[in-house]
Structure 1
Amino acid sequence: MVLGWTALFGVEPIALAALSTPLFICTLLLARGYPRWVPYLAAGAHGLAFVVYMHMAFSPPGAHVGLILTGIVATPCLVGAEIVRRHRHMVTTSERNRRERLEQQRRLVVSELHDTVVRDLSHAVMLAEQSRLAHPDDDLLQRELATVILPVRTALRQLRQGLKAMSTAKGDDALLLLASSPPPRLSETIAGSRASLADRGATLVEEGIELLDNPMITPGVHQQLVRVIGELITNASKYASPSSTVSLVVECDGRTVECMCVNAISSDVPTSSELSSKVGLDGAQRRIETLGGTFTVNRSAERWSVVFSVPIQV
């Protein structure tokens, strides 16, 4: 700016460059994401000084010329800077969202491995140990089971250590503890939801919950299903309309487990994402899809429903 104002005392082309150069610098600062008040204040001060200079050098008509020149040069510079700034902001936001999704996937992997893989492997080891105890005289079975149990135990130990290291490195100790702890009993969740609905004159009707105790459903899958169904019941109890009925139906044909949760929505309940249980439902959907199932959410003006299906046989 000092060099520009020095050039104002030169010939006219240099004077025009003296006007443009500081504005180009302000444009660069604005486009690079500096606080807006910095380049706008600098551009305004420079433009005002230029108009005052033109007024003093060429009388009142010079002030008008200086004002017009400032507008001609400053307007496209600042508009272009705002466009570039907006584009940079969109790129930065997109990259931040991508990193958040990757972080969310990493956290989901930690939770899913604890909830499903570790528990199912532990269940397999427990069944093998029970078989060894039930057939102590069968030497061949004892040797074969021993060759299976030892590497599975080793893999379990390594997996737990790896997950613990991943969680500690990212500060997810609380997540690791949550994944390792069992979810609340469905009976407790249902009782709490019934009490909440009763306050508004609504009811909860459930059918087929006992089918989750099917021995073909492994402990890891069972725990995931309990978490998801608990989330659906809690979500329905929050947003069900007064004097309505929340329905929860579970079916199992030996190959798949299917669940449907339906409730009426009060017309005065907003449908914005801020008031919904979007995070919880997204987590439930990821859990079901991780198990190889499907998860469908349907919402109309008067009804909300979720249907999911999970295979229990490969």
Structure 2
Amino acid sequence: LMYSEELRELFETEDIETGDRIKADGHKGRLMPKPESGDPEILVLKQDSGYNIGIETEDIELVEKKDEKEPTETDIKHSEDKPDILVLHTGGTIASRVSYEEGGVKPAFNPEDLVQMYPEFAEEFNLHSEVVAQMLSEDMEPGHWQDIAEKVDEHKDDYDGIIIGHGTDTMAYTGAALTLMLQNIDTGAKVVHNAPNTKSTIESKSISQGEGRTNYRGLVRIPKGSSGSKTSIECDALMFDEEATSDTEPYIEIKEDDVEMAHEATVGRIGDEEIHYMMSRGIEEEEAKEMIVRGFIEPIAKELPLEYAVELNRLIELEMEGSLG
């Protein structure tokens, strides 16, 4: 799988090889192999964000040669003074490292791999890891939601915290399902605008009952060079009981002046007035609560494939059973 003869001659002149960090038409990144079905005239760069971009240009210069050394084995030392954190892997680039030979990423599942990628982990906590699944997030199905929830429930008393590594494409679907299955959960999203005139939307919805607690942590970054970008963040929380809590902790970093940013957070409880009103119309109390919950998550549910939406509705019914006292 090779680039065009003209590009290969340019690589040779500039002493550039696959995996080297280069600058192409103003964009910096690692030179990746040409995809099997790719245009031989299009360069593929992996940016610092982890995403690949294609560029047609002859304006190329070497920035840094790739490190030819094999990564040394990391010796992880646990301390009683640090919290114990479990990472549950399901796939996605967050738990992967770049493979220049394969032209993409490959899994990094054990704690040593993760510490090599993120050294600050070892400074802050004792890291543990376990594989739940290895898949593209678009292949995540309702049965996998149940597997993740069961694994969290199995380990929740053994660790100070649990992190679920998940691909971004369907993370919102899994997060919505786990919010119903689990009652103490952190969710979040990360968006980095790496080009001008880009747009992003983050929509987070959480539901808690009993003494359940939900928390949203999110990052939106608009660096220099991303003028004209637009981002919108909407965080909504619905709580059933006085003891239930919900927190929203967005982090927004903007380095450009010409951007549009909107943030909205709403928190509400299901009150007796709403329930009594619906019951006065002949609706049973449990059914009334189910209707309120379905209406709350409808903006997300309507975007789901049909089979996912059916499973989510079944999940709501199961979780609502016995919630009336």
Q: After TM superposition, is the score higher than 0.5? A: no
TM-score bracket, normalised by the shorter chain, equals under 0.3
Higher helix share: 1
TM-score normalised per structure 2: 0.23
Larger radius of gyration: 1
TM-score normalised per structure 1: 0.24
Higher strand share: 2
